[in-house]
Amino acid sequence: MTQNDVFSETALQDPYPVLDTLRESGDVHYLAGQQLYVVLGFDAIRTVLADPGTYSSNLVAVLSAASGPAQVSVASGGGVDVLATSDPPTHSEHRALVMSRFSPGAIAELSAVIDAAITPAVTELVAAGGGDWMQSVATRVPVRVIGHVLGLPDTDHEQLTAWSDAAIELVSGVATPERIDAALLSVLEFTAYLGEALDRARSESAAGVLGTIAAAVGSGTMTRDQGAILLVQLVTAGAESTTSLLGTAVRLIASDPQLQTTLRTDPGRIGALVEEAVRVESPFRGHFRVTTTPARLAGVDLEAGARLMLLWGASNRDPRVFEYPDTVDLDRPHPKLHHSFGRGIHFCLGAHLARAEAVQAVRTLLEATTWVELTGPEPTYLPSLVVRRLAHLSIGVIPAGAPAAPTHPLDHSH
């Protein structure tokens, strides 16, 4: 098994056969061409996440497969360490600044904001008789919501979406040099925009997340660059996780009539569906770690400075932990056991927000329709070595109030 198998075009669309085969022969494998260890087993990943002292996040690594086999490149200095790529105490200080804004209580108070973003988008899609769920809802709603949470103008959400997509493309590993240059320019524009937003927030003593970070910059707790990059991470990671989850949840419903009927009969189980959706398709394929000292993981000796990629999707389908791992089970005994939102000090700040948006989106779609199913081209995934998000998801719908769904409710023969 080589990086050509793990990061091939086929594996980017459906990675699980390759990951299953690899995991069956061991939980940790060294890909010589990448100079990278991939970690697949649930327990092995849990070990890494529990020991940030040995397995540092302070590694800015980018996979690249734009020309030939995938390769890992690592930024050597010059990076700004915040949240995703920082260790304590810096990580702890920066996380503490904003975590209260993403608590379950704070997210509960955003119900009207989430609804105001979701309902018009779903209503428009249903009125049209269906369409591309990703384009119409899944990529639009999350950026609008996270922009509101941060305190950015609602009128800027389309530009924020474009910048966020550019940031994701920059680390996709499959962009051409020309696309990388364009994406880098967009991210620089994005960072400059957020830096200016911080400056305004400081001068106006603004409230919200933007105000909190601006105050930290003003007091010297973090630099202006750190504040801007922290905001970039909050927008891109928050939006990406939710966009992926919205796509997966609706794909599962639209492709499984029995599951859809169950949820329509008992909407109280939508939360369980969302949890299974994020387990079976982790929004991020993996994250990187680097060893600070020699270590032994799942029987494999790691040198100091070893680079690891934790493959969430492999661990979330580990049959030693999840019975029938490839199947959606609304009655799974420990629904939040998966690693899709990380664990420990790097647990995803936006997890509660992503769940809330997904539950509300699914509920709104089901209430607005009597049936939903897949139509048009086969759903495909965005080409990326880092994120796992549907590029498009064509669905047909029967609006609520229309006749009850027959056995084959949507006739595509015309």
How much is the pLDDT for 196?
Answer: 95
**256 touches 147 (CB < 8 A):** no
Dihedral pair phi/psi, residue 318, rounded to 5°: -75, 115
407 assigned to some structural domain:
no
Tell me whether residue 313 is in a domain.
yes
Instruction: Give pLDDT tens digits along the chain (414 positions).
Output: 455 588 888 888 999 999 999 999 999 999 988 889 999 999 999 999 999 999 998 765 555 544 444 444 544 333 444 445 556 656 667 777 788 888 899 999 999 999 999 999 999 999 999 999 999 999 999 999 999 999 999 899 999 999 999 988 887 878 888 888 898 999 999 999 999 999 999 888 777 889 999 999 999 988 999 899 889 988 988 899 999 999 999 999 999 999 999 999 999 999 999 999 999 999 999 888 999 999 999 999 999 999 999 999 999 999 999 999 999 999 999 999 999 988 776 678 889 999 999 999 999 999 999 999 999 889 999 988 889 999 999 999 999 987 655 545 555 443
The full 3-state SS of 359-378, as one line of letters, equals HHHHHHHHHHEEEEEECCCC
Nearest to 277 by CA among 238, 309, 243: 243
- Report the pLDDT value the prediction gives residue 92, as an integer from 0 to 100: 66
Per-residue pLDDT at 76: 39
Nearest to 323 by CA among 314, 333, 313: 333
CATH number of the domain at 12, please. Answer: 1.10.630.10
- The answer to whether the CB of 325 falls within 8 A of the CB of 266 is no
| Bond into 177 cis (ω within 30) | no
Give domain status of residue 76, yes or no: yes
Strands (E), 242-346: 286-291, 295-297, 300-302, 307-311
Q: Based on the structure, what is the number of domains in the chain?
A: 1
Output the pLDDT for position 409.
Answer: 54
pTM summary value: 0.90
Among the residues of 266-390, which ranges form H helices? Answer: 270-280, 312-316, 351-368
Range of 88's domain? 3-399
Q: How many CB atoms lie within 10 A of CB 149?
A: 22
Looking at the DSSP bridge assignments, the partners of residue 28 are 39
Judge whether 193 lies within some domain. Answer: yes
All residues at 6 or more sequence positions from 358 whose CB lies less than 8 Å from its CB, including other chains = 242, 245, 246, 249, 274, 277, 278
Is residue 293 a part of any domain in this protein? yes
Would 405 be classed as within a structural domain?
no
Any domain includes 350: yes
